[in-house]
Amino acid sequence: MTEAPRSLITIDNLSNGEINHLFEIAGEMAADIPGQYGIARGKIMASLFFEPSTRTRLSFETAMLRLGGSVITASDVNATSMAKGESIADMARVVGSYADIIVIRHPWEGAAKIVADYSGKPVINAGDGGHEHPTQTLCDLFTLKQERHTIRGLRIALWGDLKYGRTIHSLAYALARFGATIHFRPAPGLEIPEYVLRKLTTEYKGELKRREGLQTVEEGTLPLDAIYVTPRSPHQLAMMPDVSLEVELEKSVDALYVTRMQRERMKANGSGSYPIVDKKMLKAKEFEKTLVMHPLPRVNELAQEMDGDRRAGYFKQAAWGVPVRMALLTYLLGIKQPKITEEADSLYQHRDYPVYTGDSVKCPNAMCVTSQESEKYLAHEFSIIKMEPLILRCVYCEHEVRPPFIASSEWHEGRTDTKKYHDSNSHWIKEIKPENLIIFGNESEAKTRGFKPSHYTGKVEG
């Protein structure tokens, strides 16, 4: 496997300094789109869209053509060799030999990472299932910068389907890094995933406060599920007592990010109330000067009467997609590489977690690429983000696993009578070093590997 060049798979692949640099380039390009023609002459972009798309696909293809480059495309998986059973890895190797950069959208979470690992070319994730959509987040941040001039200190309400909305996940991480306060306002049953909240609370420097007892939807509104507050200065941790939640709600909202119900990712069609954002809903004082955003497409969740409202920003948001993606393409292709004065990600703490690889534990996410692709080349790989209790994070889709049983590779003198497995909640988790950790998804896997239950499983064999 060839070492992959720089790619954009998650929003955290770019530092704050790089994002600000991209916005400078995007601003210059937006001011003179015709003047950019030819700077990518001779470069070929592969546009692989295996899910429906209008704005993302066309804006990427337009961006490459505006730069003077060329585009090759595949938009129907049934018209590719993947329909014959070809692996994503093999497809990536082949396409990487044709193109200079690859843009991919795929329903499987983590598919973009596989392409980046195997293609040998820069890869841009244009949306992988319900995981992330980092280039939409770049467009969202750029829109906020254009309309509000800064992100630090803004109050952003994320509204609607926060569970399956991949744009929400990428945006939440980026807003936390740039110092915004985030209001999570989900539709019933579509709350932000716990793994997203855990990442916010463990790798960023703000504070999450949940508001209990707001599960009932009032007519024409959505409940507040939680507020994430980032510090106002790099060295000031956010300290917000519970009573401040009510005070926070009385303050104005700088931007309202509306999302549709992601029915295509649901096992059922979805049920319950899904309020429509209209002028009546936004008549409250807190929304008087709110910028209304939406990644589009909209269905019924955003009233058309809002289109002429001075607060509507979603069509501008879509239009910025071309210059922002032009800037990103030139950056990853190495066409525009000026020296960046790196801005410290003071609100983000990257952690090099220990990595666990093995087939004895599998990602529980049915839409993870590891659940779909052949195990012959694709190892199950997890970051050990916490030992007590033991929590793993899939490196492909970021879903969490809490495995029930553990063992150590350092069992005494190789004797089978000391080859024991234990409950992952037992005291043994403190005794086993991460590099010696063996994890089992169930007891049969442990026994198949020759391990016997210890007293700390409650099932000791005679």
pLDDT tens figures, 167-206: 999 999 999 999 999 999 888 888 899 999 988 888 887 7
What amino acid occupies position 428?
A: W
Q: What CATH number is given for 355-457 in this structure?
A: 2.30.30.20
- What is the H or E stretch that residue 324 is in? helix 321-332
- CB 162 within 8 Å of CB 124: no
> CA 83 to CA 79: how far, in whole Å?
7
* Strand duo 420-423 + 405-408: pairing: antiparallel
Distance CA 389, CA 403 (A): 10
- Is residue 327's pLDDT more than 90? yes
DSSP state letters, 98-143: H-SEEEEEESSBTHHHHHHHHHSS-EEEEEETTS--HHHHHHHHHH
The rounded distance, in Å, linking the Cα atoms of 331 and 335 is 6
- What distances in angstroms separate CA 147 from CA 22, 288, 290, 311, 443, one per listed residue? 17, 15, 11, 10, 56
What percent of the chain clears pLDDT 70, i.e. is strictly above it?
82
- For the ranges 107-116, 222-231, 382-391, the maximum mean pLDDT occurs at 107-116
For residue 299, give Cα distances in angstroms to 36, 226, 275, 280, 310: 35, 26, 12, 18, 21
The confidence score (pLDDT) of residue 412 equals: 54
pLDDT tens digits for range 242-267: 445 555 566 788 999 999 877 666 66
Task: Give CATH superfamily name and number for 135-313.
Answer: Aspartate/ornithine carbamoyltransferase (3.40.50.1370)
Tell me the CA end-to-end span of the chain in Å, nearest whole number. Answer: 47
Highest-scoring range by mean pLDDT, 204-213, 405-414, 433-442, 449-458: 433-442
**Strand partners of residue 437:** 408
What's phi and psi for 453, nearest 5 deg? -70, 140
User: Is the distance from CB of 136 to CB of 295 less than 8 angstroms?
Assistant: yes
- Vertex 104 angle, CA 135 and 99, to 5°: 110
**Do the domains 11-130+320-332 and 135-313 sit in the same CATH topology, yes or no?**
yes
- The span from the CA of 457 to the CA of 447, in Å, is 13
Band the pLDDT of 113: cuts 50, 70, 90: very high
Q: What is the sign of the dihedral through the CA atoms of 11, 153, 228 and 345?
A: positive
Do 392 and 419 touch, CB atoms closer than 8 A? no
Cα–Cα distance list, 51 to 37, 125, 129, 212, 264 (Å) = 29, 12, 9, 37, 10
Whether the predicted pLDDT of 235 surpasses 80: no
Cis? peptide before 389, omega within 30° of 0 = yes
Look at residue 214 and tell me whether its pLDDT is greater than 50.
no
Residue 124 confidence class, pLDDT cut points 50, 70, 90? very high
The arithmetic mean of pLDDT across residues 138-161, rounded, is 93
| Amino acid at residue number 153 | G
CATH superfamily of 11-130+320-332: Aspartate/ornithine carbamoyltransferase (3.40.50.1370)
Contact status, residue 134 vs residue 169, Cβ threshold 8 Å: no
Q: Report the range of poorest mean pLDDT among 17-26, 75-84, 147-156, 229-238.
A: 229-238
Tokens matching residue 122 = 């820069």
Q: What are the Cα distances from residue 452, in Å, to 51, 112, 243?
A: 46, 40, 52
More confident residue, 393 or 208: 393
For the chain, give every domain's residue range: 11-130+320-332, 135-313, 355-457
Task: Identify any residues that bridge with 391 across adjacent strands, giving them in sequence order.
Answer: 386
What one-letter code names the amino acid at 133?
H
CA–CA dist 225, 206 (Å, integer) = 17
- Characterize 110-139 residue by residue with b for buried, 16 or more Cβ atoms within 10 angstroms of its Cβ, and e for exposed: bbbbbbbbbbbbbbbbbbbbbbbbbbbbbb
User: Mean pLDDT over all residues of the chain?
Assistant: 84
